[in-house]
Structure 1
Amino acid sequence: MKRIARKEVVYLAGDRADTLYRLESGLVRIVELLPDGRTLTLRHVLPGDFFGEEALEGKRYRYAAEAMTEAVVRGYDPRGMGHEELQQVARNLARQMRRMQAYEAHLQSGELRARIARYLLFLADTPASYRDERGLYVTASHEEIADATASTRESVSKILSDLRYEGLIVTAYRKVYLLNVKALEQEAQGVLEAA
């Protein structure tokens, strides 16, 4: 088991893929660095999920894996895994594929405002959500929200400012408090499922 700090990279694109990982706790995202320098979030890895599946083929990792929260990962040598364990990995990857398809629909449908609302609601059902005396909040920077909604940091900042002005959210350093979940759900026009 290995503890990973927020923003720490588990592996980079191009690294030799000799380890299959399972997320024990926290939230990890799989990202691609685009030629123009932007980062695109391809999928989110939830506790219990396997990632680094390129290790099953003995190839190099195609994308990078980065912790969005403090996380704990367990590494496996796929060559030492039995039939039962590999079936568990296949079932888990199939569930992740369904989530990825929903996520792809999220990126391709609706205005940016709806996509941001959907993403905030998605994060509220993951280990990136917390509660304190002010209420429910998610931990995500403007840049991470932009990466996850195929947008720019500036556009995200503008929309978060609008949502804040309308009383739907309050922002703090890497925190977005969800003050009016019902209104955000209306903005989202359907919630992106976490499971």
Structure 2
Amino acid sequence: MRTLARGAAVYRSGDGGDTLYRLESGLVRVVELLADGRFLTLRHVLPGDNFGEEALEGKRYRYAAEAMTEAGVRGYDPQGMGPEELRQVARNLARQMRRVQAYETHLQTGELRARIARYLLFLVDTPACFRDQGGLYVVVSHEAIAQATASTRESVSKVLSDLRQEGLIATAYRKVYLLRLGALEEEAQGALEAA
């Protein structure tokens, strides 16, 4: 098993895709570098998920994968996997595809404020969520939120400032405290119901 620090690359776009990965701990995201230089988060890899599926076809990795938290990853040679192991990988990738489809709805539905609220609530159910004396918080930067909501850092900063002034969240360095979960859930749901 390989342990990665937050922000470390598991692999980069264009690297030779000879290893299929399984996330053992932490949180990893798969990102695409856009033509304008911004990154777009395509999916989040949760503990137990496989990723780097290009290795199943012997192709180069199309996207990059990076650790959002300290992460433990295990690599496998797909050529050495038996039929039952490959069936388990296929089931896992199918579950992830359902999550990705739900995530696409998240990106394409509603105003940025609602998309940010949904993303912060999504992170609550991942290894990026913690609790301390200040309460429940997620470890995430403004830039990562922008990449996950198809936005810009500046727009995200404005929305977070508004949410902070309204008492829904508090912020610290790479931390967003979720002070009023019910109100955030209403923000997130409102846009889905209007769609």
Q: What TM-score do the two structures reach when normalised by structure 2?
A: 0.97
Partners of 1:31 and 1:187 in 2: CA distance: 26
Q: Secondary structure at the match of 1:151?
A: coil
Amino acid at match of 1:83: P
SS at 1:130 equivalent = strand
Give the equivalent residue in structure 2 for 1:144: 144
Where does residue 117 of structure 1 map in the other structure? 117
Superposition map of 1:97-116 within 5 A: 97-116=97-116
Matching of residue 18 in structure 1 with residue 7 in structure 2 = no
Q: Which 4+ runs in 1 deviate beyond 3 A?
A: none
CA contact (8 A) 2:28 2:67 kept: yes
Residue 187 of structure 1: how far off its partner (Å): 0.4
Structure 1 171/142 Cα, relative in aligned 2: closer, same or farther at 3 Å?
Answer: same
Q: Provide the TM-score with structure 1 as the length reference.
A: 0.97
Matches of 2:132 and 2:84, distance apart in 1: 41
Code of the residue aligned with 2:95 in structure 1: it is R
RMSD (CA atoms): 1.2
Find the residue that maps to 1:42 and give its secondary structure.
strand
Aligned counterparts of 1:120 and 1:190: Cα–Cα separation in 2: 15
1:82-116 per-residue CA deviation (whole Å, 9 max, x = no partner) reads: 01100000000000000000000000000000000
Shift of the alpha carbon at 1:191? 10
1:174 aligns with 2:169: no
Change beyond 3 A, Cα 1:172–1:109: same
> Residue 189 of structure 1: SS of its match in structure 2?
helix
Structure 1 segments unaligned to the other structure (5+ residues): none
Q: Output the CA distance in 2 between the equivalents of 1:81 and 1:17.
A: 16
Percentage of pairs with the same residue:
80
Superposed displacement of residue 151, structure 1: 0.2
Letter in structure 1 aligned against 2:61: Y
Q: How many residues align?
A: 192
What is the deviation of 1:168?
Answer: 0.3
**Cα shift at 1:190:** 6.8
